[in-house]
Structure 1
Amino acid sequence: MRTKLHEQLDDLTDRLALMCHLAGEAIGVATDALVQADLPLAEQVFDLNEQIEGARGPCEDQAMALLALQAPVAGDLRQVVTGVHLVSDLSRMGGLAQHVAASVRRRHPNHVTSGEAEELLTRMGRVATELAGLAEQVLRGRDPELAAELGRRDDELDDLHRRLLTLIQDPTWEGTIPTAVDVTLLGRFYERFGDYTVVVGRRVIFLVTGEQLTP
């Protein structure tokens, strides 16, 4: 019975890691679409998010079935409960990537922004993509030290976000008000995406150690 439970828990982990992989792919493609003002790329992000949402239901159903039928305890119970929370976190990551793509779709065929603002957003997108890849590794390997690294790497994203806000608040910045709104929202989407990867790391640390970390 325990062997079957662990096989099912491993399968749940694989499903969650796939959701994380898709979210990372989505934010990467969304960033490419942003830089290139490429509508077909933006549409790919919507397709990727549909895949993420399609995986959400089976993950939730599997977790609920494990709770109801297998009666997990101790570390196994932590893994199931953590999985339930992670499904929502990973779904939100996909949603944030879709928000970036929606900005591209809304402004097409024009670029959402240009110059230094676009450069900063591009860097934020690259860091967000790397964070998602790291989060996937954490989910698969359950390494607390690697999980803690997510928080340190997210500091880079936060710094870029601060620089972006400073830029558009500068009186000499030549962007329009609509562009400033778009850039502010995009910066927030990337910043929140990074935050969710940190949450993934904290949940894995809790799973492995039982230690509940505060933000």
Structure 2
Amino acid sequence: MRTAYQEQLEGLNTVLGEMCDLAGAAMARATQALLQADLAVAEEVITDNDRMTQLSARAEEQAFALLALQAPVAGDLRGIVSGFQIVADIDRMGALALHVAKVARRRHPAKALPEEVNGYFAEMGRLAVQLAKNAREVLTNQNPEDALRLQEDDDAMDDLHKHLFTVLMDREWKHGVAAAVDVTLLGRYYERFADHAVLIGRRVVFQATGKTPEQFQEVS
């Protein structure tokens, strides 16, 4: 029975890892569409979101099967409940990449971003993709220390997000209200994408140790 549980839980984490890969790839392409005003790439991101929906449903089915068939208790139950939460986190990451692509599509053929903020979003996109990759890795290795390191890239994302507001509040801003709204919303999408990746790391710490990240750091 225990072996069957472990195999099913590993199967669930494999699907969650695939979802992380999809979310990262979607954000990479959405960022490309945003920076280059590439309508075809934006449409690909929007169309391919169906795959994320399918994997999300599959992951939830596997988690429900674990609950129904294995009658888990204590640590086993903790792992499954965290799995449900991680499904929601990754699903949201995919939705945020979708939002970025939709902004690029809505503004086409114009670029949604003024030239002076392109560098910010190129770096935010890079960080988002890296966070999705790292989240996938910690889901696979269940290493709580690696999971905690997701916070470092999130801190870098937060710094970029704060600097964006410095640009928006500058008296030299000459791109109007619509562009300011787009930049504000887009910055928030990238920030929230990173936040959900960090939440995945926190949940992996709990899965692996039974402790919150703060409790784990106190004893480690």
| TM-score tier after normalising by the smaller chain length | over 0.9
- Structure 2: gaps of 5 or more residues: 215-220
User: 1:134, 1:213 → 2: CA distance?
Assistant: 17
The letter of the residue matching 1:157 is M
Q: Show the counterpart of 1:51.
A: 51
**Mapping of residues 39-188 of structure 1, within 5 Å:** 39-188=39-188
The letter of the residue matching 1:86 is I
Residue 178 of structure 1, CA deviation = 0.4
Normalised to the residue count of structure 2, the TM-score between the two structures is 0.94
Residues 50-87 of structure 1 deviation map (CA, whole Å, 9 limit, x = unaligned): 21111111111111121111111232222111111111
User: 1:212, 1:148 → 2: CA distance?
Assistant: 11
> 2:134 touches 2:150 (CA, 8 Å); kept in 1?
yes
> 1:79 touches 1:207 (CA, 8 Å); kept in 2?
yes
**Greater CA deviation, 136-145 or 47-56?**
47-56
CA RMSD of aligned residues (A): 1.1
Q: Show the counterpart of 1:8.
A: 8
User: 1:115, 1:51 → 2: CA distance?
Assistant: 33
> 2:37 touches 2:108 (CA, 8 Å); kept in 1?
yes
User: 1:57, 1:210 → 2: CA distance?
Assistant: 26
Normalised to the residue count of structure 1, the TM-score between the two structures is 0.96
User: 1:205, 1:98 → 2: CA distance?
Assistant: 28
Matched length = 214
1:206 aligns with 2:206: yes
Counting aligned pairs with the same residue, the percent is: 50
The letter of the residue matching 1:171 is R
User: 2:6, 2:148 → 1: CA distance?
Assistant: 25
Aligned to 2:128, the other structure's residue is in SS state helix
User: 2:185, 2:157 → 1: CA distance?
Assistant: 15
User: 1:31, 1:103 → 2: CA distance?
Assistant: 10
Residues 153-193 of structure 1 deviation map (CA, whole Å, 9 limit, x = unaligned): 11000000001111011111121110000000000000000
User: 1:81, 1:100 → 2: CA distance?
Assistant: 30
> 1:23 touches 1:49 (CA, 8 Å); kept in 2?
no
Q: Show the counterpart of 2:192.
A: 192
> 1:148 touches 1:202 (CA, 8 Å); kept in 2?
yes
> 1:22 touches 1:48 (CA, 8 Å); kept in 2?
no
User: 1:200, 1:48 → 2: CA distance?
Assistant: 23
The letter of the residue matching 1:39 is L
Residues 92-149 of structure 1 deviation map (CA, whole Å, 9 limit, x = unaligned): 0000000000000000011001222122111111111111111111111111111111
> 2:114 touches 2:179 (CA, 8 Å); kept in 1?
no
User: 1:142, 1:44 → 2: CA distance?
Assistant: 32
**Greater CA deviation, 56-65 or 70-79?**
70-79
**Greater CA deviation, 196-205 or 38-47?**
38-47
